[in-house]
Amino acid sequence: MSAEEEKPDQLAEAYRRASADEAGRPGDAVRRAILDEAKAAARRRQPVANDSRYMMRAVAGIAVIGVAVVLWRQMDHRLPGEVPSTQAAPEARLEIPRPEAQPAISPPAAKAESAPTAPAPSERASAAPAAPAPERQQASSISTAKDVAQESRADAAADNAAAGAARGQLRRAESMVAPQINDPGTEVLIQYFPQQYNSDTPHSLWLVRDAAGRVLQSGEIVAGRSLEDSMPQIQQQLGGRKPGVWREQILLNARGQQIRLMTTTLP
Amino acid sequence: MPDGSLAIMPRMDSAAASDEALVARYAAGDVAAFEALYARHELPLWRCLLRQCRDRSTAEELMQEVWFAVTREAPKFRADGRFLPWLYTIARNRVIDRHRAEHATESLDAAVGDEEPLAARLMDEESPSPVLLSERREQGQAILTALNRLPREQREAFVLQAEAELSVEDIARVTGTNFETAKSRLRYARDRLKALLRDHAP
């Protein structure tokens, strides 16, 4: 092929000029029809939202995510030998009823109110046969004790102390985890303060019930302020009614953070 | 863009994108890519079709058919393929189909190897000869008229090169011939056109 044949020459140029002058363009209707068809064809190729395949994929995806969340929540995220956060301040869980305190919320009443829509962590753990957390905790504590014993064979006294400490840890953990689960205060936290229950920081909360035990109002006391400081706002939310005697509970939330729960009943 | 909701691929500069990239984007739903592709090839294809069928309304119908085929076939366009030969192959098939429908008994190969001097043929035609057209200084019209008198295959090869700027190799691919045949057709077409215009220039 010669270069002359490969390259456009004057003839081709002259032809192009003549052709451009003479041919013009296709009609607007043609152009419109083509572009409309292009859009329609592209639209036909789009996946349909209610296509059963996509619905099945969506449902399957949601199911997988749900299973993953459940598994993740059941996992023990503590390192081997790590002291459970609930043990950090065992005394903090104790209720400190004031002399004039109202009786604690009765479990049946609380359950009647709660009507939980999703299984709460405490409910899962409350099933006696399940109770995986204490078992894992026990296993990890024993493991830690064994490690300590192996590393300090030369020092029998230290070995005994470590094993004794591990056993003590186990006993404390067993004694703490179980009662916390059925604690009415924790149930109140889960039901009325879910955010604070899963929070990584301590909180001071208040809750007011009526004489029948129904919760009327609840809220949080701003950090750094006392209940007395917040009383005007609380009374305002109660429509000016003055609450009764406050009862204080110190609880631990799901993250081991201290929760101060002030409850009272409207006369 | 008229319909942005269909665009699901990342936006790119359509002017800088290759034909092949635009086809791929359109196949994925980007209508703007098709619009860019159409704007880029509208006129060359239109002129090719017009030169092949010589009738404006028929060319418009063919134009529509070709681009409709592009919209349908875009998802099947191979990523390693080249768009221009593909487009002009579709166009040629449409032209042939149309020609067959209109001239059922005429062989498409009848003009191949026709070595009769074009000037002589043109002089026998009732339409204005290139000589007259040249005398009227309508060289452009003379070229087009001369082109219309070329055998179909030669005209096709010339137009594919002049309008679509296809290489000889691509012309061979589009027309379903080998390289040598395409080259010969091009040479005959150019020689005849040149000779005619030179011999009959005022």
- For B46, the closest of A9, A26, A37 (CB atoms) is A26
Give the closest-approach CA distance of A3 to chain B in angstroms: 12
Q: How far is CA A149 from CA A78, A81, A157, A171, B172, in A?
A: 21, 13, 10, 19, 86
Contacts of B7 in chain A (CB under 8 A): none
Show the tokens assigned to A147.
């490690």
For A41, which residue in chain B has the nearest alpha carbon? B71
Quick one: CA dihedral A166, A167, A172, A174, positive or negative? Answer: positive
Can you tell me the mean pLDDT for A55-83?
79
Show the tokens assigned to A101.
């305190």
Contacts of B34 in chain A (CB under 8 A): 35, 38, 42
Give the closest-approach CA distance of A68 to chain B in angstroms: 30
pLDDT class of B53 with cuts at 50, 70, 90: confident
A197-217 b/e with 16+ CB inside 10 Å = b?
A: beeeebbbbbbbbeeeeebbb
Q: How far apart (Å, rounded) are the C-alpha atoms in residues A86 and A256?
A: 5
Q: Kindly determine whether residue B59 and residue A26, on different chains, have CB atoms separated by under 8 Å.
A: yes
End-to-end CA distance of chain B: 52
Q: How far apart (Å, rounded) are the C-alpha atoms in residues B164 and A112?
A: 81
Q: A115 touching B, CB under 8 A?
A: no
DSSP chain B: ---GGG--SPP--TTTS-HHHHHHHHHTT-HHHHHHHHHHHHHHHHHHHHHHH--HHHHHHHHHHHHHHHHHHGGGS-TTS-HHHHHHHHHHHHHHHHHHHH-TTS-TTTTTT--S-HHHHHHHSSSPPHHHHHHTT-HHHHHHHHHHHS-HHHHHHHHHHHTS---HHHHHHHHT--HHHHHHHHHHHHHHHHHHHHHT--
Tell which B residues from 54 to 93 touch A, by Cβ distance under 8 Å. 59-60, 63-64, 67-68, 71-72, 74-75
Backbone angles phi, psi at A224, to 5 degrees: 90, -10
Cβ within 8 Å of residue B75, ≥6 positions away: A45, B27
CB atoms within 10 A of CB A46: 12
- For A42, the closest of B31, B51, B168 (CB atoms) is B31
- For B193, the closest of A1, A11, A22 (CB atoms) is A11
Among candidates B163, B90, B121, which has minimal Cα distance to A19? B163
Among candidates B151, B179, B175, which has minimal Cα distance to B164? B175
Show the tokens assigned to B67.
């681009």
**How much is the pLDDT for B3?**
43
For B193, which residue in chain A has the nearest alpha carbon? A11
Contacts of A44 in chain B (CB under 8 A): none
Residues A48 and B15: beta-carbon distance below 8 Å: no
Q: How far apart (Å, rounded) are the C-alpha atoms in residues A33 and B91?
A: 17
Q: How far apart (Å, rounded) are the C-alpha atoms in residues B100 and B77?
A: 26
The residue ranking higher by pLDDT, B168 or A45, is B168
For B8, which residue in chain A has the nearest alpha carbon? A46
pLDDT at B136 over 70: no
pLDDT at B73 over 80: yes
Q: Kindly determine whether residue A11 and residue B147, on different chains, have CB atoms separated by under 8 Å.
A: no
Q: Kindly determine whether residue A26 and residue B51, on different chains, have CB atoms separated by under 8 Å.
A: no
Q: Which amino acid is at A189?
A: L
The residue ranking higher by pLDDT, B10 or B144, is B144
Cβ within 8 Å of residue B7, ≥6 positions away: B1, B29, B30, B31, B32
Tell which A residues from 21 to 60 touch B, by Cβ distance under 8 Å. 21-23, 25-27, 30-31, 33-35, 37-39, 41-43, 45-46
pLDDT at A130 over 50: no
Give the closest-approach CA distance of B198 to chain A in angstroms: 11
Q: B193 touching A, CB under 8 A?
A: yes
Q: How far is CA A26 from CA A22, A31, A36, B195, in A?
A: 12, 7, 15, 32
Contacts of A15 in chain B (CB under 8 A): 143-144, 147, 158, 162, 193
**How much is the pLDDT for B32?**
93
Q: Kindly determine whether residue B46 and residue A42, on different chains, have CB atoms separated by under 8 Å.
A: no
For A38, which residue in chain B has the nearest alpha carbon? B71
* pTM (whole model) above 0.80: no
Residues A205 and A196: beta-carbon distance below 8 Å: yes
End-to-end CA distance of chain A: 107
- For B6, the closest of A8, A30, A39 (CB atoms) is A39
Q: Which amino acid is at B137?
A: R
Mean model confidence pLDDT for chain A? 69
For A1, which residue in chain B has the nearest alpha carbon? B183
Q: Kindly determine whether residue B31 and residue A39, on different chains, have CB atoms separated by under 8 Å.
A: yes
Give the closest-approach CA distance of A105 to chain B in angstroms: 56
- The number of residues making up chain B comes to 202
Contacts of B161 in chain A (CB under 8 A): 8, 12
Q: B178 touching A, CB under 8 A?
A: no
Q: What is the pLDDT of residues A184-210, one digit of tens each?
A: 788 888 888 988 888 888 889 999 988
Among candidates A118, A139, A127, A150, which has minimal Cα distance to A76? A139
Contacts of B163 in chain A (CB under 8 A): 16, 19
Q: What is the pLDDT of residues A204-248, one digit of tens each?
A: 999 998 888 888 889 988 888 888 888 888 888 888 888 888 888
Can you tell me the mean pLDDT for B115-132?
48
pLDDT at B45 over 90: yes
Among candidates A42, A38, A58, which has minimal Cα distance to A50? A58
Contacts of A49 in chain B (CB under 8 A): none
What is the largest distance, in Å, between two alpha-carbon atoms of chain B? 59
Share of chain B above pLDDT 70, in %: 72
